[in-house]
Amino acid sequence: VKMLEHYLRETLFERKPCSLVLTKVGAAYLPKVRDGLERLAAGTEEVFGLRRCEVLTVRAQVGYSVNWIPPRLPGFFHHQPETQVRLVSSVWGEQFENARLDLDIRYGTGRWPGYKADRLTWDELKPVCTPSVLQGKHAMRNPDILSHHRLL
């Protein structure tokens, strides 16, 4: 992406601490890039056929791709030794229309029109803090006290 931005002499993404956000120029450019990639995929399929059917393409959030999926792959390959897996990490989870995926692991309620969803996990969120936060005027005694602390 940096090389493309350098080549175009234009910033396409605003880099935030834990995410990327399209700039106005990037948002204007995205449909053209998407169209080009879709045409390339269609042309490849037309010339070379559906060879990629032997590959299971899975898309997941970066955290899932790094922490949740890898420990489960050995068991999957034990039961499916002939299957190749292509793992794609998504930055924009809500954009999955027209994607060529076999499986999309997403956060949410599981209600996406036109898609079948199965629950994989039950996430549990817990606040954590340093020992010093447990003491003093705004000691962590109940969840309401979180409003007095900086959250990351």
Q: Average pLDDT of 15-32?
A: 88
Residue 32 in tokens = 């053209």
Task: For 132, list phi and psi in degrees, rounded to 5.
Answer: -65, -30
Q: How confident is the model at residue 92 (pLDDT cuts 50, 70, 90)?
A: low
In this prediction, residue 140 carries a pLDDT of 67
- Rounded to the nearest 5 percent, the helix, strand and coil shares of the chain are 40, 15, 40
Those residues with Cβ within 8 angstroms of residue 12's Cβ, 6 or more apart along the chain or in another chain: 1, 4, 5, 22, 23, 25, 26, 29
> Domain residues of the chain, as ranges?
1-50, 53-105
Statement: residue 122 has pLDDT above 80: yes
Q: Give the fold, CATH level 3, of 53-105.
A: D-Maltodextrin-Binding Protein; domain 2 (3.40.190)
Where residue 113 falls among pLDDT bands split at 50, 70, 90? confident
- Average pLDDT rounded to a whole number, residues 112-122: 86
Output 124 or 13, whichever has higher pLDDT: 13
pTM of the model: 0.49
Copy the structure tokens of residue 144: 């309401």
- Per-residue pLDDT of 24-80, as tens digits, reads 999 999 999 989 988 998 888 788 776 545 788 888 888 888 888 999 999 999 998
What pLDDT sits at residue 66?
Answer: 86
